[in-house]
Structures are given as structure tokens and as C-alpha cells.
A and B are shown apart, each in its own frame.
Chain A
Amino acid sequence: MLIIFAIDALEYTLVEEFNCNNLKQKFYGKTNIREFSEPKTMVLWSSFMTGKNMEKEIVAKGDREMWNTRLDFNDTFFKQFKNPKIIDLPGFNYIKEQHEMERKLLKEYFDAKDEEGKKKVRTAYNNLSFEHHRKIKQEFSEALKGDYDFVLGYFSVADVIGHLNFGNRTMMKMIYRDLDEIAGTIKEPYIVLSDHGMEAVGIFGDHSNYGFWSTGFKDLGSPRITDFAGMIKGLSDVKL
């Protein structure tokens, strides 16, 4: 079984700073996403799973419709596996209602007129994200025990929480620690991959223009996010 621990907005510098050894593994580095004009989540994960730059196609849908993208299984590298399990991946099978609700609360936060109102929305937003995180964590943990030859678990918590709380180091450290613990429970070869990282804008967070990768078995250098589709099947034969 090959596992991809897909983490939206996992930031290279924080993985280093918080010394997340399970996320770093033996080999780690930054992915190159400079070919994209904006580090958009839907564009990057779609490009990852198809192995081609999907920016033009996804952006043409418009910002609202973009989130409804559902790529066909046969257009992704997942088809190379006999029994793959994909959890909540944008552009493939992500849980639309959850992520729509997150964006709705994000909008409510910016629309709130006073500090008290913003505080309430931020709490609701954070709770919604943490609750979803716990569900995905459970589903991922069960998938790791299943009879699959490929498991991809997508975790959005660092991105969703990061947008409104990236300057809150205690909260971000708590999230990175939890993600590191999840990585520590994986007993098969795994790749950690993020679409982009995150940089601080005061208390808030914006997408950075590079992603993160790690493996315990091969130095991948400075890969583009589109390179993984071509290399993953070969990596699935490695043994710990």
C-alpha cells in the first residue's frame, strides 16, 4: 500500500520550526508551483492528480463553479491502482457541503461589523473545521487498516484554520503537532504533500508560492506538483 498524506497549506518553514519529524521523514523539500499564476487549491490538486497544468481549465469555470470540479477517475493517476481509496480530495470527491459552509463563514467573518461579531464567527469557523478534521482523521485511520493498494487522505485544517489564525502560533503549533502525530501512526511508506504553504499577514494567512513534500525512501529534489502523477506508481513498490 502507498499512502499520500495530503495536507492543504502545510508550510515548509513551520514543519521545520516545530520540528515535525514524522511530517519531514528522511527526505523533504519544497514543491515548485511557479508555473501557476495563483496558488489556488482547486487548480493545484486537480493538476496533481491529472499530471498536467489544469489552471486554464479550472479558472475558466469562474470562482464559484470552480469548487464544483469533479474530475473523472479515468483522467487521474488513481486509475493505475486496483483498489484506491481517496478521502475528501478537492477536484475529485471532496465534501462540498462542508467546504461551502467554511467559505460561507469566512465571508461572514469579513462582513461582521464589530469585534464581538468577528470573534463569534471565528469561533464557529474554527469549530467547524476542527470537527471536520476529526472525521477525516477517523476515516483516514480506518482506511489505513483496509485492503487498499493506495490511500490518499486530504486534510484541510491547516489551510482553513490558517486563513484566520496563522498569526496565532499556539493554535498553529497545536495543529502541526496533531498532523505530525497522524503521520506517526502510518506504518506503510507514505508521501506527505501540500498544494502550497502559508505566509502570515498579521494574524491572518495567505497562500505561499511553494508546497511541501516528504518521503522516507527517496529524495525527490524539487518536483513540480504535476510530476507526482508520473512517479507515484513506481514509488508504490518501495518497502520500508
Chain B
Amino acid sequence: MSEGYGTIKIPKELLGKIEERIQGTEFKSVDEYTTFVLEEVVKEDGEEEIEEVFSEEDEKKVKERLRALGYLD
């Protein structure tokens, strides 16, 4: 174990899910992904991350824009 790092235990089922999730992403290991997610959760300044949700209206709007930009026929 590298200096400055500790070990945590997580359920095997969750481990498997994380392994699946990081496939095809920039995360090179479960450790890296877990650190990244935990950093997001344990923010010292209490800043909240707002994740947008899907809406049909947004989809319609962006589809038109992508057409104007030449991405869609």
C-alpha cells in the first residue's frame, strides 16, 4: 500500500458493479473511481453538486441546435 493511502472494505456485489461501471471510462481502477466519488460526496465547503435531469423540452431544444450546427440531418 502506498504511503498516504488506507484500505476500505466494500461489499463484493458493489465492487462488481463499480468494475462494470468504469469500463469504457477514464477511470483506470476501482480505487480511482471510488476516491473520485467520495471526494465529490465529502466536500468540506458543503457545496452541492446539481445533476440535471432529462426533459423532453430540453431534448427538443438541443436537437434543433444540433441540427443548426450541422451534427444532425
Report which A residues bind B (CB closer than 8 A). Answer: 38-42, 63-64, 66-67, 103, 106-107, 110, 115, 123, 126-127, 130-131, 133-134, 163, 166-170, 173-175, 178, 200-207
How does the 8 Å CB contact mask read for B45-73 relative to A, with 1 for contact and 0 for none?
A: 00001111111011101110110111111
Q: Is B13 an interface residue (CB 8 A)?
A: no
Interface contact B72-A107, CB-CB below 8 Å:
yes
CB contacts (< 8 Å) of B54 on chain A: these are 115, 202-203
CB distance from A111 to the nearest CB of B (A): 10
Distance between Cα atoms of A175 and B66 in the complex (Å) = 21
Interface contact B58-A42, CB-CB below 8 Å:
no
CB contacts (< 8 Å) of B57 on chain A: these are 202
Distance between Cα atoms of A108 and B66 in the complex (Å) = 13
Which 3 residue pairs across A and B have the least CB separation, nearest first? A167-B52, A202-B58, A127-B24
CB distance from A20 to the nearest CB of B (A): 14
Q: Is B40 an interface residue (CB 8 A)?
A: yes
CB contacts (< 8 Å) of B36 on chain A: these are 170, 174
Known: A67-B70, A110-B63, A169-B50. A130 touches B25 (CB 8 A): yes
Known: A130-B25, A167-B52, A168-B51. A206 touches B70 (CB 8 A): no
Q: Which residue of B lies closest to A99 (CB)?
A: B71
Q: Is B26 an interface residue (CB 8 A)?
A: yes
CB contacts (< 8 Å) of B68 on chain A: these are 38
CB contacts (< 8 Å) of B52 on chain A: these are 166-168, 200, 202-203
* Known interface pairs A169-B50, A170-B40; 5 further A-B residue pairs with C-beta atoms within 8 A, sorted by A's residue number: A41-B69, A106-B72, A123-B24, A200-B52, A204-B58
Q: Which residue of B lies closest to A128 (CB)?
A: B24
- Which of B49, B50, B53, B72 meets A110, CB within 8 Å? B72
Distance between Cα atoms of A204 and B25 in the complex (Å) = 19
How does the 8 Å CB contact mask read for B17-61 relative to A, with 1 for contact and 0 for none?
A: 000000111110000000011001000000001111111011101
Distance between Cα atoms of A7 and B29 in the complex (Å) = 25
Distance between Cα atoms of A123 and B61 in the complex (Å) = 21
Interface contact B69-A130, CB-CB below 8 Å:
no
CB distance from A146 to the nearest CB of B (A): 24
- Which of B24, B51, B63, B73 meets A131, CB within 8 Å? B24
Known: A203-B52, A206-B65. A66 touches B70 (CB 8 A): yes
Q: Which residue of B lies closest to A205 (CB)?
A: B62
Known: A110-B59, A169-B50. A42 touches B70 (CB 8 A): yes
CB distance from A36 to the nearest CB of B (A): 11
Known: A63-B70, A66-B70, A168-B52. A163 touches B62 (CB 8 A): yes
